[in-house]
Structure 1
């Protein structure tokens, strides 16, 4: 659906993670793996999680075909459950468009707490979300909690207040606005660091 090239946020994250000396990256919502593969090509070890075992099987097959199987582990996981990783076990976490799925603010708060738990001190969390300035915000069926369903797909649109709330107790390095796709979708790329 999105092609084989890494997303712009992944290209940013590769450089940010490299500058921080990250060697082990967790990707949440990896899908078919265009970004996980880019991380592996950049020399890091990736644990790629997704709700879809089918997508992860395809990712594993692609990693084998590209000679990257030793750098990518796949793990089916629903982010509404605790992460199945030990405390302080990864250097960085990346999630492109996962946080703006139909997750409640309560579920997002729990997810960020889990990310903090598995990150080593100084580790980056880089995530992207559609925000309340997006053209589809407020359109379609409202489910409360800034979740709107349009075209059969529900999105949690982030306010800046939600970004700040999820960064409480972290060092918020950057909130970068960008656009993606034909609409275009209006997003923020958030980079925060665990103290």
Structure 2
């Protein structure tokens, strides 16, 4: 698969299904907003923001939001919805391919959120590099909340096996996380919670992971 194939896939999906995830925020976004607020966060970077159901929820909760996705179609839908909701002043968009270094300054975010982005069609190497980039972008004490489908999911081990715990169904590939990968990504962080939950009709089985960058030592 070429580097541009996943981008073309999602461009087509959002073009054919505008607002495909609806307007209601995801349950993980509702949880994350509470965690971020309790930590005193003022801004949120969302990776894989799509058409914006969660980004607009964060903005409505008073956060300044940077919404990143590699689909320009999705980001166009997001920007239009932000304008219609009177939230354009709180939301900026950025075209980002998470297989490359994040185009944001080090220590520039209070919080990062990624719902099912980490378990997309990404190699383990890309996932590890992305976790490192999230840590770089976060300020000391900053919080990262992400969700991933895991190896206990009913789809794991079925469909077309692509290696590296990636399985494809109907042209949609998922990297199913073993617990050891979650723990490895958390090395050097404060791992605060790994919460198991279900979503959708299958149902999909996921982990919601909450971890923070240790605050800088005094002195």
Aligned to 2:151: 132
CA distance in 2, matches of 1:140, 1:57: 33
Q: Normalised by the size of structure 1, how large is the TM-score?
A: 0.99
Give 4+ residue runs of structure 1 displaced > 4 Å after superposition: none
CA distance in 2, matches of 1:188, 1:151: 23
1:61 Cα deviation from its structure 2 partner: 0.6
Counterpart selection for 1:3 from 13, 22, 44: 22
CA distance in 2, matches of 1:7, 1:176: 15
3-state SS of 2:184 partner: helix
Higher helix proportion, which one?
2
3-state SS of 2:157 partner: coil
Aligned to 1:117: 136
Question: Is the aligned partner of 1:104 residue 2:123?
Answer: yes
Question: Is the aligned partner of 1:16 residue 2:35?
Answer: yes
Consecutive unaligned residues of structure 1, counting only runs of 5 or more, are none
Equivalenced residues, count: 195
Deviations, residues 50-88 of structure 1 (Å, cap 9, x unaligned) = 010110011001000000000000001100111111110
CA distance in 1, matches of 2:90, 2:170: 37
1:3 Cα deviation from its structure 2 partner: 1.2
Aligned to 2:86: 67
Question: Is the aligned partner of 1:86 residue 2:80?
Answer: no
3-state SS of 1:31 partner: coil
3-state SS of 1:158 partner: coil
Give 1 or 2 for the bigger CA radius of gyration.
2
Q: CA RMSD in A?
A: 0.5
CA distance in 1, matches of 2:140, 2:134: 11
Consecutive unaligned residues of structure 2, counting only runs of 5 or more, are 1-19, 215-219
Q: Normalised by the size of structure 2, how large is the TM-score?
A: 0.88
